[in-house]
């Protein structure tokens, strides 16, 4: 145990480029169709072999370790494998909690991936996906690469997507959305069916980031904005920002994002949001070799993703 060095993994934030919400399922969740995209903004997760299980989180979220999704991931995977969860987990948080950016789910997936390495489990081991799905709807996505079309509760992979690198700005008004109330409001309003994600996926895989910006969609935006009006204010700020080509809400909120022409535009929009007292960050999507638009020559946002 002492001869095994710790391993460090990135736990990226995510955003929903598309979120279509359907009827309530028999298990109480809503049927969804979503296009999820990982970001360079990320938590850092370190795993070190130990005599037992412990978790440290910086900054302290005021949450008992046993309730932290990363801790629960270690317990669940150890149980599935019939072994002890003998690891120390250290989280260094950059993704704000309760913003709809998937930080806790990503931490949990990073723990699963890291423990698979420490415990000699192949990345394709079915236990990883089974445990991920038991922990929450967003956790399975973070076992994949960069972008994916998901369905079911949001936990069933349709296919991974070949997404380019695109500059993004994130804005969080620092007000959480009560998720159960948001979905109840959505059910009461019964909005018309969402457009499908096909045209968005087509633009994403073609690297046409301007078209991506015009094809964003989130069924939950109206319901969540009614509960937290600051979401509308944040979207309005991005709509009026130079170089922001399109914007939408992340998950069920309350963070919002904007597709940006350049890293400088993302930084300027983030600065304007911070002037309002909101958390904000300039970041980029994770992707393959392709970097599109001005992002191909603009490195100005690379040192900014973790700033809030």
Q: Helix %, strand %, coil % for the chain, to 5?
A: 35, 30, 35
- State both tokens at 277: 């007292």
- At 174 the three-state DSSP class reads coil
Q: Residue 215, exposed/middle/buried by CB under 10 A (0-12, 13-18, 19+)?
A: buried
Q: Is 14 a catalytic residue?
A: yes
Read off the pTM: 0.91
Q: According to the 3-state scheme, what is the secondary structure of 146-173?
A: CEEEEECCCCEEEEEECCCECEEEEEEC
Q: Residues 48-57, buried b or exposed e (16+ Cβ, 10 A)? A: bbeeebebeb
Q: Is 10 a catalytic residue?
A: no
Question: Which position among 107, 138, 219, 298 bears the catalytic label?
Answer: 138
Q: Do 112 and 77 touch, CB atoms closer than 8 A? A: yes
pLDDT at 301: 37
pLDDT at 2: 52
Strand boundaries in the chain, DSSP class E? 7-24, 30-49, 54-58, 87-92, 147-151, 156-161, 167-172, 217-218, 244-249, 256-260, 279-284
Q: Kindly list the structural domains of the chain, giving each domain's residue range(s) and its CATH number in brackets, ordered by start.
A: 7-161 (3.30.230.10), 167-296 (3.30.70.890)
What are the 10-residue block averages of pLDDT along the chain, 308 residues in total?
A: 83 98 89 97 98 96 93 98 97 96 97 97 94 96 94 95 96 94 91 89 96 97 96 98 98 97 98 98 81 42 35
- At 273 the three-state DSSP class reads helix
Question: Which position among 14, 107, 219, 298 bears the catalytic label?
Answer: 14
């Amino acid at each position: 145990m002492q001869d095994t060095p710790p391993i460090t993994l990135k736990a990226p934030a995510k955003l929903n480029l598309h979120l279509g919400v359907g009827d309530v399922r028999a298990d109480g969740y809503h049927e969804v169709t979503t296009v999820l995209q990982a970001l360079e903004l990320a938590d850092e997760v370190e795993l070190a072999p130990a005599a037992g299980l412990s978790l440290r989180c910086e900054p302290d979220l005021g949450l008992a370790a046993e309730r932290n999704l990363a801790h629960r991931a270690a317990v669940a995977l150890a149980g599935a494998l019939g072994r002890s969860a003998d690891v120390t987990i250290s989280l260094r948080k950059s993704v704000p909690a309760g913003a709809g950016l998937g930080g806790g789910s990503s931490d949990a997936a990073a723990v699963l991936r890291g423990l698979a390495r420490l415990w000699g489990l192949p990345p394709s081991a079915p236990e990883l996906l089974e445990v991920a799905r038991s922990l929450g709807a967003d956790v399975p996505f973070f076992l994949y690469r960069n972008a994916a079309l998901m369905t079911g509760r949001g936990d069933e992979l349709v296919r991974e997507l070949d997404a380019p690198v695109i500059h993004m700005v994130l804005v969080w008004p620092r007000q959480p959305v009560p998720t159960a109330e948001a979905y109840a409001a959505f059910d009461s309003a019964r909005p018309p069916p969402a457009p499908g994600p096909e045209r968005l996926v087509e633009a994403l895989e073609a690297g046409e980031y301007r078209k991506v910006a015009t094809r964003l969609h989130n069924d939950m935006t109206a319901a969540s904005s009614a509960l937290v009006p600051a979401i509308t204010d944040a979207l309005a700020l991005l709509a009026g920002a130079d170089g922001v080509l399109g914007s939408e809400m992340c998950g069920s909120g309350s963070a919002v994002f904007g597709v940006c022409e350049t890293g400088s535009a993302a930084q300027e929009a983030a600065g304007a949001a911070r002037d309002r007292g909101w958390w904000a960050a300039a970041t980029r999507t994770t992707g393959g070799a392709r970097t599109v638009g001005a992002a191909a020559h603009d490195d100005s946002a690379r040192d900014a993703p973790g700033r809030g």
